Chains A and B, each alone.
Chain A
Amino acid sequence: MAETMAHAVAHHAPPQGFIRKYVFSIDHKVIGIQYTTLSLVAAFVGMALSWAMRIHLAWPDMRLPILGWLSPNGAPGGLMTPEYYLSLMTMHGTIMAFFVLTAAPFAGFGNFMLPIQVGAADMAFPRLNMASFWVTFTGFLLACATFFIPDGPPLSGWTAYAPLSAVGSVAGPGQGWGQNLWGLSIALFCVASLLGSLNFIVTVLDLRTKGLKMSRLPLSTWAWFIDAWVSLLAFAVLLPTCLLLVLDRLGGTSFFIPGGLVFNDQLQPHSGGSPLLFQHLFWFFGHPEVYIIILPAFGLVSHIMPTFIGKPLVGGWKVITFSEIAVGTLSFVVWGHHMFVSGMSPYMAMVFSVPTLFITIPSVIAVLVWVFSLYGANIRFDTPMLYSLGFISLFITGGIGGFFLAQPSTDSYLHATSFVVGHFHFTMGLSAIFATFAGFYYWFPKMFGRMMNEKLGKLHFWLSFIGVYCVFITMQLTGMSGAVRRYSALVDDFMVPLIPAYRFMTIAALLLGAAQFIFLYNVIWSRFKGPKAPDNPWGATTLEWDTTSPPPFDNFGGRQLVVHHGPMEYDGDESLMQTSPEPSIAGT
């Protein structure tokens, strides 16, 4: 009887055979792990690129034979040309921003956890979900393929600013087929992102189990839900931007290329286009994009913290969720702050500066919620909690730099310096990475049924935390003293005194990278040799902990779940599972 029951409730029959089970799987859990693995691979690729750049910046004469092998033209004899430096920078940004930061905390964890957290058997559209992963994967392959074509990777930055990105191979190495592949790769990523976010929204709205009202959603689900909206709207604008760029490159149009433009002594056969139009379109996507990256991080940390502090967040689910909604909404009206020095009207700069300062208000509210929640709490310092605290620290440090960059007057000085690079590595890059690590250590037992090693986890945390500050605080300081970003060498006299700082950053970055191998070792070792994980190792309250580790194919083995309250309910010191009936003392 129980068996027929389980069969009747299965969303779709469990797949048979290796291919359907692990490769072209429609199971959201497998897709979540596929996304996470893809991001992990992408993160190590991106990190290797940053090492090559940092080594070149600190010791410009050092030869890296592997680069010479990878690109005989870009790095003859292993010594990179300034153009190849830009190529590495472009691909570092592209891979990290899209395939790591956008993919891991949203598509990776979201796919695995969101259906379980709402008590569903799968996403609303499992086949679209599978398509979404494989389109992303193809996009990643195309991005990586640029390293192996004769042209090499593009050098126009992850922002692909026109007209450099629009005129074709005359603009330099990588601007022929490299840039074409880049455009195709990102266009595919946009399509995959649409499929993913559409799925997330419908799953949250339509597939919640009995009693799971919106007000009772776990905070991670809330963040993914809001994030899916932002990504649904923002990537829909990046897609036409890529298409118009490709039209300029291959169709001979002049959307982004002005008249009278000379590249390499050749007058370009274009007229009437506007590089500013490209920047408007790109940043209309690009600014929400940084919130697409950081909102899941907000959610992960808000989801993880209550378990380890043993009490609800200050302000309950409402304050944090409404600040996320405010951040998501405002993110669509601040894009011009990336363009203060682009030649846009200074009056427009004023217009964009004001909402940019406004967006700090909900961000600060969120930070205060996390910090105040720690007050008087009996904190358990397990690795997920350490990473959550690390996230808060990095986000505050990075956010402070934002005040200076939000104002046109100070931004004019800082914009082209490495201050900006340090700023965004703190606020969106490493903050999101730290939240992702928090999520990884927190959910690993659920995803793979094994515990990770806590000692190695803590070692990994402290080395990463100190390493990040050594690299990026120094980067902001050199930026304040005028170090120009995007340069492959310290060209000017005034930059020469910065050489020791550059070498310090490079050594710190190499050590920071080396520390990530502790994580990799921990993941692989724990995956096979870690102690078996119980169903609810952290004493958490949400539905993903109300099933086995790892969950069965239909997530709950055909059980009918009824949710009685929100995720942050405590009966004294005891946390209450969302499915456990209301205690007499707790509220709704």
Chain B
Amino acid sequence: MNPTELVVNEKLASIEPERKEHGIVMELSPYGVDKKKLGMWMFIVSDACTFAAFLFAYGYMRIGAPVWGTPFGPSSIANGVLMTAILLSSSLTMLAAVRASQADDRSSAKKWLGVTMLLGVIFAALHLREWFKLIGEGWRLFYNPTGGAAQFGATFFSVTGLHLTHVVTGVIALAFVVRGYSQRRYDQSHVETAGLYWHFVDLVWMFVFPLMYLMNAH
């Protein structure tokens, strides 16, 4: 074993003295990451590509369109800013839940998970309000009431719909985490893994909001 390898292995060994998987001693994991968390990271990498493809399609449609409608007035933007603030806050409350679970403060962790779910639900409600408003104004997947490119509805509803699906899935997943955590089947690593997903969904919104809302404000 060469000296650098030795140093790296010692460093890892200090993080995790002996890694065991069902009684068998394993080789040190390269980044000291637990398998659930690593699995979630892999999902996030893949899911990011899926969102990227949707956003690429949006960009392609938008650049190709001779006239692109910009339907969002101040009230829609205000609604979007509010949604952004709520989703960002939910990342903070998620962080508080992870911190509490790491300190083994179970009641506090459950409380923060509950707040995170609530914020997620409020976000979804505000989002649906926005959708119904647009639908009421005549916007459809295939129709633009202002006479611009029909692709506005197609891209807006599909991109934000995909994101909304992620938020709703996240809320449901958190409910399962809370249940398992209350029954002590889950520990802090489950909370942290769920947190990773939640932050990712939040991060995606940070792309969706400027691209779908701010760029379409008149």
**B49 contacts A233, CB within 8 Å?**
yes
| Chain A residues in 8 Å Cβ range of B151 | 253-255, 272-273
Kindly specify which of B19-27, B70-78, B127-135, B199-207 makes contact with the partner chain: B19-27
**Once the chains bind, are A255 and B61 in contact (CB under 8 Å)?**
yes
Q: What are the interface flags for B57-85 relative to A under an 8 Å C-beta threshold, 1 for contact and 0 otherwise?
A: 10011001100000000000000000000
Q: In the complex, how many residues of chain B place their beta carbon closer than 8 angstroms to a beta carbon of chain A?
A: 41
A11 near B: Cβ within 8 Å?
yes
Residues on the A chain within 8 Å of B35, using CB? 124-125, 202, 206-207
Q: Are A206 and B61 in contact (CB under 8 A)?
A: no
Closest B residue to A231 using CB positions: B46
Name B53's contact: one of A205, A209, A236 (CB within 8 Å): A236
Q: Whole-angstrom distance between the alpha carbons of A288 and B33 in the complex?
A: 28
Cβ contact within 8 Å between A210 and B57: no
> A232 in the interface, Cβ–Cβ < 8 Å?
yes
Contact across chains for A236 and B39 when beta carbons are under 8 A apart: no
Flag if B154 contacts A236 (CB, 8 Å): no
A-chain residues with CB within 8 Å of residue B142 when the two chains form the complex: 251-254
Tell me the minimal C-beta distance from A367 to chain B in angstroms. 30
A233-B27 in contact given A207-B21, A252-B142 (Cβ < 8 Å) = no
Partner pick for B38 among A205, A209, A243, CB 8 A cutoff: A205
Given contacts A121-B21, A202-B42, A233-B46, contact A253 B154 (CB under 8 A): yes
Chain B residues whose C-beta falls within 8 Å of the C-beta of A201 in the assembled complex: 38, 42
Give complex CA distance A272, B62 in Å. Answer: 10
A232–B45 contact, CB under 8 A? yes
Instruction: Determine whether A241 belongs to the interface, using a CB cutoff of 8 Å to chain B.
Output: yes
B11 to chain A, nearest CB (A): 15
Contact A213 B27 (CB under 8 A): yes
Contacts of A173 in B (CB 8 A): none
The answer to whether A202 touches B149, judged by C-beta atoms less than 8 angstroms apart, is: no
The chain A residue sitting closest to B1, CB to CB, is A588
Inter-chain contact B53/A206, CB cutoff 8 Å: no
Decide if B3 is an interface residue (CB 8 Å cutoff). Answer: no
Q: Which residues of B contact A240 (CB under 8 A)?
A: 50, 53-54, 57
A253: nearest chain-B partner, CB-CB: B154
B23 touching A8, Cβ below 8 Å: yes
With the chains together, A280 CA to B52 CA distance in Å? 13
B41 to chain A, nearest CB (A): 9
Is B61 touching A272 in the complex (CB atoms < 8 A)?
yes
- Residues 206-244 of chain A, each 1 if its beta carbon lies under 8 Å from chain B, else 0: 111111111000000000000000001101110111011
CB contacts (< 8 Å) of B158 on chain A: these are 243-244, 247, 253
* Minimal Cβ-Cβ distance residue in A for B149: A272
CB pair A277 B60 closer than 8 Å? yes
| CB-CB contacts below 8 Å: A190-212 with B | 194, 197-199, 201-202, 205-212
Let me know if A159 is at the binding interface, CB within 8 A.
no
Task: Compute how far the CA of A272 lies from the CA of B150 in the bound complex, rounded to whole angstroms.
Answer: 8
The residues of A that contact B45 with a CB separation of less than 8 Å are 232-233
Instruction: Specify which chain B residues have a CB less than 8 angstroms from the CB of A561 in the assembled complex.
Output: 24
A237 touching B27 by the CB < 8 A rule?
Answer: no
Asked whether any CB of chain B lies closer than 8 Å to the CB of A560, the reply is: yes
Q: How far is the CB of A552 from chain B (nearest CB, A)?
A: 14
Q: Are the C-beta atoms of A125 and B27 separated by less than 8 Å?
A: no
B47 interface residue, CB < 8 Å from A?
yes
Interface size on A, residues (CB 8 A): 53
Contacts of A237 in B (CB 8 A): 49-50, 52-53
Which chain B positions have C-beta within 8 A of A10? 22
Given the complex of chains A and B, what is the CA–CA distance between A494 and B49 in angstroms?
Answer: 46
> Nearest A residue to B55 by beta-carbon distance?
A240
Q: Which residue of A lies closest to B42 (CB)?
A: A198
A281 touches B53 (CB 8 A): yes
Measured between beta carbons, the chain A residues less than 8 angstroms from B43 are: 194, 198
The 8 Å CB contact of A277, one of B24, B50, B57, B150, is B57
In the bound complex, residues from chain B placing their C-beta under 8 Å from that of A247 are 141, 154, 158
Residues of A within 8 A of B30 (CB): 205, 214
CB contact under 8 A between A236 and B24, given known A252-B141, A255-B57, A281-B57: no
- In the complex, per-residue mask of B2-27: 1 if CB is within 8 Å of any chain A CB, else 0: 00000000000000000001111111
Provide the residues of chain B in CB contact with A233, threshold 8 Å. 45-46, 49
CB proximity to B under 8 Å, residues A251-278: 251-255, 271-274, 277
Name the 7 nearest CB pairs between A and B, nearest first. Answer: A236-B49, A9-B23, A252-B142, A253-B154, A208-B27, A240-B53, A236-B46
A-B contact pairs, 23 of them (CB 8 A): A8-B23, A11-B22, A120-B21, A120-B24, A121-B21, A198-B43, A209-B25, A211-B27, A240-B50, A240-B53, A247-B158, A253-B151, A253-B153, A254-B142, A254-B154, A255-B154, A272-B61, A272-B64, A272-B149, A274-B60, A274-B64, A277-B60, A280-B60
- Which B residues have a C-beta under 8 Å from some C-beta of A? 21-27, 29-31, 33-35, 38-39, 42-43, 45-50, 52-54, 56-57, 60-61, 64-65, 140-142, 149-151, 153-154, 158
Other 10 A-B pairs with CB < 8 A, given A208-B26, A236-B50, A274-B60: A11-B21, A124-B38, A202-B38, A206-B26, A207-B26, A207-B35, A210-B26, A240-B54, A253-B158, A281-B56
